[in-house]
């Protein structure tokens, strides 16, 4: 999925304006001319200049570059579903891992994606379980990262 | 006591050697799986090295990347699919050799070439870094400001086809680095009221997102690659190699020198070194017509160059704290997180650490030969691991890694956001490497710039008053304005005609 450079340029300039507006309430240090706003403002200026040049280049190439070029995957529901499962898996982990626990959450995320990519129920479940336990062992067992037990807490303790 | 002798026990102990062995295997597997790059190997290692002392941490990354860069040649030669971008330059050439039945020769050449190139880069690193550090000790904020500008500028111009998009990517990285409590006034900038952002965008989760998550997303929308073909056993790896290296020794030297030089340039790493070395080898060859038909000469040059670049990239990283490629950018970021600021003072305060790092470089390139040999033997099995198994594992490993740094789910949030950002950027032709350099160097650049501005009281000429600063400043400015001058000059000469 490719946007025309001009669209990206407009987005950049909009962002630069927002970010520059954000610097207005950065405090000034008394007796000093340069404060926390100077560097971000320079970067915003950079964004704005870059955005303008992108708009120019997008306009120049408007004949060959459509506003939004959706190549193969953006129109393929199968690919979009796989993409959604990968992003959704991480979101799911963020939302539920604390109370569901690391092992069930990680197993579900890995199993779902593996099933989607390979299509084999039993071997995917076995591999996902092995991977989950191995990674749990590395981080929880060896590196002492407190991965949450969640619903398994009463089982373990 | 001699710092070199002090360094020996730092390296030659069970912990470091064991770590290096595991890292070597890890690097070989990651490198030989197409799609998993050496940079990603580093990114995935970071959560583990975070819990180690500096020497084993750096040792594991040095070993893993050296292995990964070589291992990238294996699928390149056998399947014509480069395992890492650094092998892309000569994957077709090596595959053409495989089709002629010369797979062993191709892989043996690139293995030995990799080890020699890596060793050469290391020698340059060992000889030049302490000398440069002496010079760097005299540097003030003015010199560091220009040096950082020059490094970032190189990254923009070298790493990408579109300098404009490279520059925007760089500014994106620098901008993300401004999030959090700022250094001059202690004011929280762009934190959106989220307390987790007060300390800035956590670097390690951000980097895992940009290199691992973005790659996963890219693979989720890529057409599935065809099933790997049947591969035969490879055994006679070293037969006939003596002849190759006697005949093309110039290529090894050329590739090593060129690779080291490209590696030292900030922002350019093994992939660019290999492309340049391959092209140069063809240009200087007595039989350029044979290139592309399964001719070993280009592999000698380029195979040495990409590993030499890996070591070369550490020169500016260790001496100035300015990364030479995205791998060293990650390592520097990690060292900062651990409170060990790379730069010339490390050479004075803890020279044994530096020597320890040097020794691990030599070790990594020595063990490259036996480990690489084993990897070629096992390649048939590694190449058969299907992507449906690899990507979910990488996804879980990244997620846990991002969580483990602060034991906080906010790290996973940062990883996901940065991963999507990097995915969208690459889809639209923006390279990601400048952004990661910007993210790492942002605080240093702003810190030096602000201190210099306050010192100079806003007098911009002060940035040119010290001799080295003036030279660096003039070089930087001329690189910035060169494209504009060239454009005007070209249109003038076109008008004149």
Tokens read off for A85: 């499962």
How far apart, in Å, are the Cα atoms of B224 and each of A86, A134, B102, B387, B393?
Answer: 16, 27, 28, 8, 17
**Of residues A34 and B227, more confidently modeled:** A34
Tokens read off for B31: 């490198």
Which residue from B minimizes the CA distance to A13? B168
Q: Is B7 exposed, middle or buried (0-12, 13-18, 19+ CB in 10 A)?
A: buried
What integer pLDDT is reported at residue B226 of this predicted model?
Answer: 52
Which residue from A2, A32, A90 is facing B412, i.e. has the nearest CB?
A90
Same domain, A17 and A91: no
For A5-99, list the strands marked E by DSSP: 68-69
**Of residues B341 and A108, more confidently modeled:** A108
Same domain, A49 and A9: yes
For A43-100, list the strands marked E by DSSP: 68-69
Same domain, A61 and A78: no
Query: Which one, of B279, B324, B273, lies nearest residue B86 by Cα?
Result: B273
A106 Cα to chain B: minimum distance (Å): 7
Confidence at A4, pLDDT banded by 50, 70, 90: confident
Rounded Cα–Cα distance for residues A104 and A133 (Å): 10
Q: Residue B267 in 3-state DSSP?
A: coil
Looking at the structure of chain A, the number of domains it has is 2
Residue B355 near residue B129 (C-beta atoms within 8 A): no
Same domain, A64 and A77: no
CB count in 10 Å sphere of residue A95:
12
Residue B159 near residue B166 (C-beta atoms within 8 A): yes
What integer pLDDT is reported at residue B223 of this predicted model?
Answer: 65
Strand partners, B201: none
Q: Residue B189 in 3-state DSSP?
A: strand
What integer pLDDT is reported at residue A63 of this predicted model?
Answer: 80
What integer pLDDT is reported at residue B422 of this predicted model?
Answer: 94
Same domain, A40 and A98: no
What integer pLDDT is reported at residue B234 of this predicted model?
Answer: 61
Cβ under 8 Å to B: A residues 57-76: 57, 72-74
Rounded Cα–Cα distance for residues B173 and B435 (Å): 4
**Longest alpha-carbon distance in chain A:** 70
Residues in contact with B221: Cβ distance below 8 Å, sequence separation at least 6, in sequence order: A73, A74, A79, A80, A82, A83
Size of interface A-B (CB pairs under 8 A): 149
What integer pLDDT is reported at residue B225 of this predicted model?
Answer: 56
Rounded Cα–Cα distance for residues B322 and B336 (Å): 12
What integer pLDDT is reported at residue B158 of this predicted model?
Answer: 65
Q: Does A50 touch chain B (CB under 8 A)?
A: yes
Mean pLDDT to the nearest integer, A2-23: 90
| The CA-based dihedral angle spanning residues B114, B118, B119, B123, taken in that order and rounded to the nearest 10 degrees | 150
Which residue from A minimizes the CA distance to B178? A40
Task: Name the percent of chain B lying above pLDDT 70.
Answer: 94
- Domain end call among A69, A97, A116: A69
Query: Does A36 sit within 8 Å of B400, measured CB to CB?
Result: no
- Domain end call among A38, A69, A100: A69
Rounded Cα–Cα distance for residues B274 and B296 (Å): 14
Query: Which one, of B159, B158, B43, B176, lies nearest residue B445 by Cα?
Result: B176
Mean pLDDT to the nearest integer, A13-29: 87
- Domain end call among A69, A86, A101: A69
Q: Residue A68 in 3-state DSSP?
A: strand
Same domain, A47 and A90: no
Query: Does A47 sit within 8 Å of B164, measured CB to CB?
Result: no
Give CA A60 to chain center in angstroms: 31
**For testing contact with chain A, the best of B57, B399, B421 (most A CBs within 10 A):** B399
B396 Cα to chain A: minimum distance (Å): 7
How far apart, in Å, are the Cα atoms of B126 and each of B42, B312, B318, B344, B381?
Answer: 22, 10, 11, 14, 37
Domain with A118, as residue range(s), is 73-156
DSSP type of residue A3: E
Same domain, A8 and A62: yes
**For testing contact with chain A, the best of B400, B407, B416 (most A CBs within 10 A):** B400
Query: Does A47 sit within 8 Å of B168, measured CB to CB?
Result: yes
Which residue from A40, A82, A93 is facing B178, i.e. has the nearest CB?
A40
Same domain, A52 and A90: no
Q: How close are the terminal C-alpha atoms of chain A, in Å?
A: 49
Could you list the pLDDT tens digit for every one of the 497 residues in chain B? 577 888 888 888 888 999 999 999 988 888 887 767 788 888 888 888 888 888 888 889 889 998 888 888 888 888 777 777 788 788 888 888 888 888 888 888 889 889 999 999 999 998 888 888 888 888 888 888 888 888 888 777 766 668 889 899 999 999 999 998 887 777 888 888 888 888 888 888 898 898 889 988 988 887 665 555 555 656 666 777 788 888 888 888 999 998 898 888 776 778 888 888 888 888 888 888 888 888 888 888 988 998 899 888 888 888 888 887 788 888 888 777 777 778 888 888 888 888 888 899 899 999 998 998 888 888 777 777 787 888 899 899 889 988 988 888 999 999 999 999 999 998 898 988 888 888 888 888 888 888 888 888 777 888 888 888 888 888 888 878 877 787 788 777 766 65
Query: Which one, of B153, B86, B165, lies nearest residue B118 by Cα?
Result: B86
Rounded Cα–Cα distance for residues B488 and B216 (Å): 43
Same domain, A81 and A119: yes
What integer pLDDT is reported at residue B337 of this predicted model?
Answer: 74
How far apart, in Å, are the Cα atoms of A54 and each of A10, A114, B62, B423, B471?
Answer: 8, 40, 38, 19, 32
Q: What is the pTM of this model?
A: 0.84
CB count in 10 Å sphere of residue A126:
12
How far apart, in Å, are the Cα atoms of B179 and each of B191, B200, B446?
Answer: 6, 5, 12
What integer pLDDT is reported at residue B375 of this predicted model?
Answer: 85
What integer pLDDT is reported at residue B75 of this predicted model?
Answer: 81
Same domain, A91 and A57: no
Query: Does A26 sit within 8 Å of B187, measured CB to CB?
Result: yes
Rounded Cα–Cα distance for residues B493 and B497 (Å): 6
Query: Which one, of A140, A53, A133, lies nearest residue B483 by Cα?
Result: A53
What integer pLDDT is reported at residue B24 of this predicted model?
Answer: 92
Residue B341 near residue B321 (C-beta atoms within 8 A): yes
Q: Residue B140 in 3-state DSSP?
A: coil
A25 Cα to chain B: minimum distance (Å): 10
Query: Does A46 sit within 8 Å of B220, measured CB to CB?
Result: no
Residue given tokens 């191995």 in the structure block: A134
Confidence at A126, pLDDT banded by 50, 70, 90: very high
Same domain, A63 and A107: no
- Indicate the domain borders of chain B: 3-463, 466-497
Residue A121 near residue A71 (C-beta atoms within 8 A): no
Q: Is B405 exposed, middle or buried (0-12, 13-18, 19+ CB in 10 A)?
A: buried
CA quadruple B268, B272, B273, B276: dihedral sign: negative
Which residue from A minimizes the CA distance to B186? A36
Cβ under 8 Å to B: A residues 71-110: 72-74, 79-80, 82-83, 85-87, 89-91, 93-94, 97-98, 102, 106, 109-110
Same domain, A81 and A145: yes
ipTM score assigned to the predicted complex? 0.94
What integer pLDDT is reported at residue B160 of this predicted model?
Answer: 63
Query: Which one, of B154, B132, B169, B374, lies nearest residue B267 by Cα?
Result: B154
Q: pLDDT per residue over B402-437, tens digit each?
A: 898 888 899 999 999 999 999 999 889 898 888 888
């Amino acid at each position: 999925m490719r946007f025309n450079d001009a669209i990206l340029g407009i987005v950049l300039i909009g962002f630069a304006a927002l970010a520059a507006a954000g610097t207005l309430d950065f405090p000034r240090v008394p007796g000093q001319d340069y404060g926390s706003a100077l560097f971000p403002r320079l970067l915003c200026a950079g964004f704005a200049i870059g955005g303008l040049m992108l708009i120019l280049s997008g306009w120049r190439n408007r004949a060959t570059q459509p506003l939004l070029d959706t190549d193969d995957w953006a129109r393929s529901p199968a690919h979009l579903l796989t993409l959604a499962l990968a992003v959704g898996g991480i979101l799911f982990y963020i939302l539920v891992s604390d109370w569901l626990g690391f092992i069930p959450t990680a197993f579900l995320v890995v199993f779902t994606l593996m099933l989607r990519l390979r299509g084999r129920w039993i071997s995917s479940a076995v591999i996902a379980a092995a991977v989950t336990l191995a990674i749990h062992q590395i981080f929880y067992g060896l590196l002492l990262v407190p991965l949450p037990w969640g619903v398994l807490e009463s089982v373990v303790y | 006591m001699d710092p070199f002798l002090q360094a020996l026990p730092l390296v030659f102990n069970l912990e470091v050697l064991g770590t290096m062995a595991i890292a070597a295997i890890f690097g070989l597997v990651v490198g030989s799986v197409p799609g998993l790059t050496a940079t990603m190997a580093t990114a995935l290692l970071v959560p583990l090295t975070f819990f180690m002392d500096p020497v084993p941490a750096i040792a594991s990354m040095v070993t893993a990347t050296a292995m990964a860069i070589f291992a990238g040649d294996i699928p390149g030669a056998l399947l014509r699919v480069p395992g890492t971008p650094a092998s892309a330059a000569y994957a077709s050439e090596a595959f053409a050799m495989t089709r002629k039945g010369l797979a062993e020769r191709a892989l043996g050449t690139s293995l030995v070439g990799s080890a020699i190139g890596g060793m050469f880069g290391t020698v340059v690193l060992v000889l030049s870094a302490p000398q440069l550090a002496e010079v760097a000790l005299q540097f003030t904020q003015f010199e560091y400001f220009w040096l950082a500008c020059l490094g970032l500028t190189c990254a923009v111009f070298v790493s990408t086809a579109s300098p404009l998009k490279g520059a925007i990517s760089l500014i994106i990285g620098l901008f993300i680095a401004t999030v959090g409590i700022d250094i001059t006034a202690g004011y929280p900038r762009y934190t959106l009221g989220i307390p987790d952002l007060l300390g800035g965008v956590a670097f390690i989760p951000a980097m895992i997102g940009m290199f691992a998550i973005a790659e996963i997303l890219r693979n989720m929308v890529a057409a599935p690659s065809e099933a790997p073909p049947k591969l035969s056993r490879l055994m006679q790896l070293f037969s006939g190699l003596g002849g190759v290296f006697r005949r093309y020794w110039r290529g090894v030297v050329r590739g090593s020198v060129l690779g080291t030089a490209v590696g030292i340039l900030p922002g350019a790493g093994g992939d660019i070194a290999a492309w340049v070395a391959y092209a140069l080898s063809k240009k200087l060859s007595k039989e350029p017509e044979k290139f592309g038909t399964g001719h070993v000469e280009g592999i000698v040059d380029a195979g040495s160059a990409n590993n030499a670049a890996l070591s070369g990239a550490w020169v500016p990283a260790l001496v100035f704290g300015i990364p030479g490629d995205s791998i060293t950018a990650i390592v520097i970021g990690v060292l900062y997180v651990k409170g060990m600021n790379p730069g010339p003072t490390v050479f004075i305060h803890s020279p044994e650490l530096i020597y320890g790092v040097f020794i691990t470089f030599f070790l990594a390139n020595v063990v490259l030969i036996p480990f690489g040999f084993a990897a070629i033997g096992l390649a048939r099995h590694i190449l058969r691991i299907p992507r449906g198994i690899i990507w979910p594992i990488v996804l879980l490993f990244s997620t846990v890694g991002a969580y483990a740094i602060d034991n906080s789910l906010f790290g996973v949030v940062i990883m996901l956001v940065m991963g999507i950002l990097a995915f969208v950027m690459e889809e639209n032709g923006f390279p990601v490497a400048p952004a990661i350099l910007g993210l790492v160097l942002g605080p240093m650049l702003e810190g030096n710039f602000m201190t210099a501005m306050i010192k100079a009281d806003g007098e911009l000429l002060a940035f040119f008053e010290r001799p080295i600063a003036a030279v660096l400043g003039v070089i930087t400015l001329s690189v910035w304005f060169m494209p504009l001058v060239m454009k005007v000059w070209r249109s003038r000469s076109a008008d004149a005609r």
